[in-house]
Amino acid sequence: MGRQCITEVGLWLPSLRPGVEEWQQMLSSLGQLYVQGVKVDWLALDREYSREKVALPTYPFQRQRYWVESSEGSDKTTTKHPSATASSPITELLDRGDYQQLTAMLSEKESLTAVEVVQQLIHLHQKAVAQTALRDCLYHIEWQIKPLDVASEKPSQDGQWLIIGGEVTVTQKLAEQLEQKQQSCRFVKELPQDYSELLQLVQQETELPLVGIVYLNCEEVTSHEEVLSQTETTCQSLLELLQALLQDESSNPTKVWVVTAGAVALGEHPISVAQTPLWGMGKVVSLEHPELWGGLIDLEPSKDVESQMEYLITELLNPDADDQIVYRREERYVPRLVPSSPSTSKTFKAEPTGSYLITGGLGSLGLKVANWLVQQGARHLILLSRRGLTEETEAAVAALQEAGNKVSVMSADVAEITDMERVWKQIQAEEKPLKGIIHAAGVGRLDTLEELTPEVWEAVLRPKVKGGWNLHQLSSSENLDFFVCFSSIASVWGSAGQAHYAAGNQFLDGLMHYRSSLGLPGLAINWGPWAGGGMVTAEAEEWLAQTGLETLSPELAISALEYLMSADQVQVTVSQNDWSHFKAMYALKRPRPLLDLITVAAERVEAKTEQAPNLQQRLEVVAETQRSELLRQILQEEVALVLDLPITSRPNPEVGFFDMGMDSLMAVELQKRMSKLLGVNLSSTLTFDLPNIEKLEKYIIDQHLVGFFKPETDEDQQEESFLETNLLAEIEQSSDQELEGSIDQILESIID
């Protein structure tokens, strides 16, 4: 109202405003006055108000960006369709306008409609492009000889060991040998009923910390019932042990070692399939709880365990970075993932006179495979699922039938032997012999080890373990051309929250090796996530992309299947990874030598530039004695930025990063920021090895800024306080003009 009445006056300064604190408003108006050149009596303003110290960035480089990032390459959630970037023989012919070659590539059918021509061209182009892209998606595990380095044998920590499972003679001998190495030992003859009680008992008996638990399962079983019962009991019991340890409050984390004999397909001896799920499970424990994890050791199955005690003891007392170890023919092997290019003998063709069974055939991948099999010449498909046809799958099956194929939908539980015996009778009653099986039935779930219940465990394992085993048993008399299991990357490098799924898939991997050793066809494909529905939801796709796991386009995945059907390999991983990101994520909590041979183009660490000075340049701005304070502040700001906290907040240097709410994606971000700051590629286990700001700071000072810090001495402190006192006295005695002059001088020196 004042403004409306007195229009000629230049500046209105409000003292009150709705929603703004009175004092804040007064200060803001005072600031405006000062900016207008009005002389302010600052000393009069300054009284004994209560004050709050606020941390401000003290140097000009650490600016936050508020620009919208360029969209180029930032959309990590969408699957890169290979054809978006690649050419194919079709595009080359189109470019050249070579219609004669193009028509020669089309179907031999005499009169194709325009739509059919376009469809065929698209199909041929996508197939050619996917085949080219395949090169970067195929991997397998190579077992490499790596002797254990015991030259630097450190005196093992005095502690107690608990040995569970295995034959009494074995456990006794292991206990004796551990005791010879000054370890205290206790063993239990049968798998315990109550692990919490056992742990309590063991810890009450002696003051020595429980440093390790050896969980033995070296027994080889082959009969139908024994395979299924051993698979179930050993995994469930290990799960109970892990859950009891996770609930145990003693501060000393115990390392769990799982020892098998023949759980890995290496050497001439057939794999012991019932032991395999322990390996899948172990890979997930290592990801979810590295602090609890010792490792997996697979002994020579053709020798008795007692004769291999020396290896076992050496591994237990001298662990290195490898947590998957296999002994064969006196050699120590470790796994390394390597790119794969299996040779193919012939191109795959299905037989119109045979029939093909797809378990999980009405699922997302099952139906895609059914369509592909028809394209390869199959005419009779058996699609199996528990629910049978549903509204969503009816149309897809009808389309296959309308194209002249016989599609039998069977409602059966692949894990129920009685259901499957019924299915087998029906298959055998048909005129067309069974020529191939695609086992794609599965249940996907995410449950951490703490959350897992025996029921959930069983629900996820049964289609894989009982289902796979039933199919193997029932088909043993059929003359199959192929038996393909849809396994997962979860059993290759683990997957947090999927101990059950990894265990089930590892069984299928093992089963295919077992079949191969019997001369039967078998192929396990460890699929990475597929795009376009099924077990991988859009939400999961987004999350996976953030971890460096890209989804496979169905065209690419189907090309991989087609290629692998005629390849000479029993187990292949098909996965599209952004390895630089995935490796960093994967090795966040402990080194992961499994991926050592996967090369990643070295990340460009930004060179020193004027806009982004490196850490040393930033520290050089201040006096030597103030550098450690500035370093701490810089680290606190880096951590605050990663945690998305205001830059002025100062995270407590002693609190662990993960306790502050840092997740694995943030930890990778911090590692990248630190690498950039120091101008070196830091290990991806950075936040695990140096779990708080204090430790990170010490590491940087000791390793990267040697001689850069002058420790503050008592004299420095005295001089500092003397200078401070003098400065205050000088300020008090100076006139306003003198002070203004000094401030101007300081500001000019900073700008210069």
Ligand X SMILES: NC(=O)c1ccc[n+]([C@@H]2O[C@H](COP(=O)([O-])OP(=O)(O)OC[C@H]3O[C@@H](n4cnc5c(N)ncnc54)[C@H](OP(=O)(O)O)[C@@H]3O)[C@@H](O)[C@H]2O)c1
Chain positions contacting ligand X, by CB under 6 A: 359-360, 362-366, 384-387, 413-415, 440-444, 462-463, 467, 486, 488, 527, 529-530, 534-536
Distance CA 298, CA 217 (A): 10
Give whichever of 482 and 658 is closer to ligand X, judged by the CB atom.
482
**From the CB of 629, what's the least distance to ligand X, in Å?**
51
State phi, psi for 608 to the nearest 5 degrees: -65, 125
| Smallest gap from residue 308 Cβ to ligand X (A) | 35
Q: Give the DSSP per-residue string, 118-145.
A: HHHHHHHHHHHHHHHHHTTTEEEEEEEE
240 versus 413: smaller Cβ distance to ligand X: 413
Helix (H) or strand (E) holding 261: strand 255-261
- C-alpha 280/C-alpha 503 separation (Å) is 4
Beta bridge partners of 408: 382
Tell me how far CA of residue 634 lies from CA of 276, 623, 713, in angstroms. 48, 15, 23
Nearer to ligand X, 441 or 565 (CB): 441
Q: Residue 442 corresponds to which tokens in the numbers above? A: 């599965």
Backbone φ/ψ region at 63: left (φ over 0), alpha (ψ -120 to 50), beta: beta
Q: Which residue lies nearer to ligand X by CB, 308 or 359?
A: 359
- Angle, CA of 561, 565 and 566, to the nearest 5°: 135
The CB-of-701 to ligand X minimum distance in angstroms stands at 46
Minimum CB–partner distance for residue 526 and ligand X (Å): 8
Considering the complex, what minimum distance in angstroms separates the CB of residue 335 from ligand X?
20
DSSP single-letter state for residue 498? B
Q: Judged by CB, which is closer to ligand X: 466, or 672?
A: 466
Q: How far is the CB of 532 from ligand X (least distance, A)?
A: 9
Among all residues, whose Cβ is closest to ligand X? 363
Pairwise CA distance, residues 374 & 350, whole Å? 8
CB closer to ligand X out of 93 and 485: 485
* Both structure tokens of 560: 């991989």
Rounded-to-integer distance, Cα 518 and Cα 270, Å? 8
Distance CA 667, CA 686 (A): 8
Q: Please answer whether residues 397 and 385 qualify as being in contact, where contact means their C-beta atoms are separated by less than 8 angstroms.
A: no
Terminal Cα-to-Cα distance of the chain (whole angstroms): 47
SS3 521: coil
CA dihedral (68, 70, 71, 77) positive or negative: negative
Q: Name the residue nearer to ligand X (CB basis): 381 or 670.
A: 381
Question: Which amino acid is present at 601?
Answer: A
CB 442 to ligand X: min, Å? 2
Instruction: Identify which of residues 327 and 486 has a Cβ nearer to ligand X in the complex.
Output: 486
Cβ atoms of 254 and 210 closer than 8 Å: yes
Cβ atoms of residues 258 and 278 within 8 Å: yes
Tell me whether residue 297 or residue 440 sits nearer to ligand X (CB atom). 440
Measure the CA–CA gap between 412 and 659, rounded to whole angstroms. Answer: 48
Nearer to ligand X, 160 or 553 (CB): 553
Q: In angstroms, what is the minimal distance from the CB of 265 to ligand X? A: 20
Q: What is the largest CA-CA distance in the chain?
A: 110
Pair type for strands 576-577 and 549-550: antiparallel
**356 forms bridges with which residues in the sheet?**
381, 436
For residue 462, the minimal CB distance to ligand X (Å) is 6
Q: What is the DSSP string of 328-391?
A: ETTEEEEEEEEE----BSS-----TTSEEEEETTTSHHHHHHHHHHHHTT--EEEEEESS---H
294 strand-pairing partners: none
| Cβ 384 to ligand X shortest distance, Å | 6
Q: Give the DSSP H/E element, type plus range, for residue 95.
A: helix 89-96
- Which is nearer to ligand X, 536 or 564 (by Cβ)? 536
- State how far Cα 492 lies from the chain centre: 11
- 128/574 with CB nearer ligand X: 574
Closest CB to ligand X among residues 192, 534 = 534
Beta carbon of residue 93, minimum distance to ligand X (angstroms, whole number): 33
Distance in Å, CB of 412 to ligand X, minimum: 6
Cβ(289)–Cβ(494) under 8 Å? Answer: no
Taking the complex as a whole, the smallest distance from the CB of residue 283 to ligand X amounts, in Å, to 15
Give the Cα separation of 506 and 465 in Å (integer). 9
What are 80's two structure tokens? 């890169």
Minimum separation from the CB atom of position 555 to ligand X (A): 14
Q: Which residue has the tokens 């450190």?
A: 154
The single-letter DSSP state of residue 287 is H
Choice between 271 and 552, CB closer to ligand X: 552
Q: Minimal distance in Å, beta carbon 560 to ligand X?
A: 12
Strands 160-165 and 210-217, sheet pairing: parallel
Instruction: Report the nearest approach of ligand X to the CB of residue 352 (Å).
Output: 25
Looking at beta carbons only, is 210 or 370 nearer to ligand X?
370
Question: Quick check: 662 and 699 in contact, CB under 8 A?
Answer: no
CB of 578 to ligand X, least distance (A): 17
Closer of 300 and 550 to ligand X (Cβ): 550
**Distance between CA atoms of 291 and 279, rounded to whole angstroms?**
18
Taking the least distance from each CB to ligand X, the nearer of 414 and 480 is 414
